Structure 1
Amino acid sequence: MTSSYSFTAELWLYPGEAGWHFLTLPPDVADDIRARNAGHSKAFGSIQVTAEISGHTWQTSLFPDAHKGTYLLPVKKAIRARARISEGDAVKVSLSVIGT
């Protein structure tokens, strides 16, 4: 059974030279994903997902944010460009965890 979620989050830029953009998962979504994937995460606690923004789908991983107790969803440049989103935008996301 696939675990699927929908939420809206603000796109933000990680400070530093790398230029990584992320969405922070809401606590209730993160808690459910953590509970369903206990013991099944990959390297660094990552969880493989398929994400969709504005009809554009890609596979990536969620990464744990220990400071906030949630997960971060990286949004690559190609998706940001196609979806016409940028830092500070409220972004609607559909997410499916792969393998649960």
Structure 2
Amino acid sequence: MKNMLHYEFDANLWQVPGRGGWHMLNLPLQLSSELKLLFTHQCAARGRLSVEVQIEDQLWQTSLLRDDSASVFLLPVKFEVRKDLKLKAGDLCTVKLKLKAP
């Protein structure tokens, strides 16, 4: 697609502590830094970036969340995706990420 940025990375799924905690993937530090530079205004305004994500055959739209304490973006992995792919905390995922160029 024209004007789209494409990235691929591997990350381990982890669960946010607490009952019914969300499941997340950390974007690599280098990728997070690049996205912060490219999307400075959007990041400053909301701290979120809209993306299209693919893990295996599952494709969905979501937003990256900024984690300032770790200097990375977090990618939430919704329940339906985890269920369909039988993913659990600790599993290594290959992620394809697509977002509109600034």
Asked if TM exceeds 0.5, the reply is yes
Q: Which residue of 2 aligns with 1:39?
A: 41
Offset, 1:11? 0.1
Taking every aligned residue pair, what percent have the same amino acid on both sides?
A: 33
CA distance in 2, matches of 1:3, 1:36: 11
Structure 2 gap ranges (5+): none
Tell me, yes or no, if the aligned pair for 1:50 and 1:98 is still in contact at 8 Å: no
Offset, 1:42? 7.7
Is 1:79 equivalent to 2:77 in the alignment? no
Which secondary structure does the structure 1 equivalent of 2:98 belong to? strand
User: Taking structure 1 as the reference length, what is the TM-score of the superposition?
Assistant: 0.92
Tell me, yes or no, if the aligned pair for 2:42 and 2:48 is still in contact at 8 Å: no
- Name the amino acid aligned to 1:75: V
- Name the amino acid aligned to 2:60: W
User: Taking structure 2 as the reference length, what is the TM-score of the superposition?
Assistant: 0.90
| CA deviation map 1:2-57 (0-9, x unaligned) | 11110000000000123200000001111111111110238641000000001110
Aligned 1:8-87 pairs, distance under 5 A: 8-41=10-43, 44-87=46-89
Structure 1 gap ranges (5+): none
Which secondary structure does the structure 2 equivalent of 1:17 belong to? coil
Tell me, yes or no, if the aligned pair for 1:50 and 1:57 is still in contact at 8 Å: yes
CA distance in 1, matches of 2:56, 2:84: 8
| CA deviation map 1:61-84 (0-9, x unaligned) | 000111110000000010111122
Tell me, yes or no, if the aligned pair for 1:44 and 1:63 is still in contact at 8 Å: no
| RMSD over aligned Cα atoms | 1.5
Offset, 1:89? 0.3
